[in-house]
């Protein structure tokens, strides 16, 4: 797998390629150039430190065999009690959607925690044996931008567990 530094094109075609090949080069034609790394602690201008946690808005979609609606509601209420950052859940007999905030270092960590949520709480909350069929993880700024543009959840959406 060939790595390209951020902001660089994957191909050197066109005018950019012509400029790149005009300069002096110590490489033989077709020879791969050595990649250099960024020194530890260095980052691009304006980039956040990687070790500071950030807030991520999670939407987890689940689906499976129909379960009694009262059991689904009770299980989601228990999940909300066990996982206090749960904002809202919508449910039906055979599917549910959970929205909440997660604090994590990066998107990968937030997604990993979100993908474990249902399985880790399945026994203790009595959740149905459904599978995760969708996951969206967005940062706080993107969430607020969507809400401001009218694409996010309606501001009047009540917090808690609600039927579709």
> How do residues 78-116 score in pLDDT, each as one tens digit?
999 988 777 889 999 999 999 999 999 999 999 999 999
Q: How far is CA 51 from the centre of its chain?
A: 17
For residue 106, what pLDDT is reported? 96
Q: pLDDT band at residue 20, thresholds of 50, 70 and 90?
A: very low
Q: Which two tokens stand for residue 129?
A: 């044996």
CB atoms within 10 A of CB 84: 7
**Cα-based torsion angle of the residue sequence 39, 41, 47, 52 in order, rounded to the nearest 10 degrees:** 150
Burial 28-60 (b: 16+ CB within 10 A, else e): eeeeeeeeeeeeeeeeeeeeeeeeeebebbbbb
| Mean of pLDDT values over 62-90 | 92
For residue 16, what pLDDT is reported? 42
Q: pLDDT band at residue 2, thresholds of 50, 70 and 90?
A: very low
| Mean of pLDDT values over 130-142 | 96
For residue 82, what pLDDT is reported? 87
Between residues 21 and 126, which one has the greater pLDDT?
Answer: 126
Q: What is the DSSP string of 30-84?
A: TPPPPP--PPTT---TTPPPTTS-EEEEEEEEEE-S---HHHHHHHHHHHHHHST
For residue 154, what pLDDT is reported? 62
For residue 31, what pLDDT is reported? 59
For residue 87, what pLDDT is reported? 82
């Amino acid at each position: 797998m060939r790595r390209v530094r951020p902001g660089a094109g994957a191909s050197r075609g066109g005018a950019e390629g012509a400029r790149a090949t005009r300069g002096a080069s110590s490489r033989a034609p077709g020879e791969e150039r050595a990649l250099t790394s960024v020194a530890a602690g260095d980052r691009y201008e304006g980039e956040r430190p990687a070790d500071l946690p950030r807030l991520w808005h999670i939407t987890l979609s689940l689906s499976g065999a129909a379960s009694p609606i009262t059991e689904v509601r009770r299980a989601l209420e228990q999940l909300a009690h066990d996982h206090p950052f749960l904002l809202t859940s919508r449910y039906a007999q055979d599917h549910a959607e959970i929205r909440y905030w997660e604090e994590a270092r990066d998107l990968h960590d937030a997604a990993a925690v979100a993908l474990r949520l249902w399985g880790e709480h399945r026994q203790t909350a009595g959740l149905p044996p459904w599978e995760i069929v969708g996951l969206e993880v967005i940062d706080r700024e993107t969430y607020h931008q969507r809400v401001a543009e009218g694409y996010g959840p309606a501001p009047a959406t009540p917090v808690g567990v609600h039927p579709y």
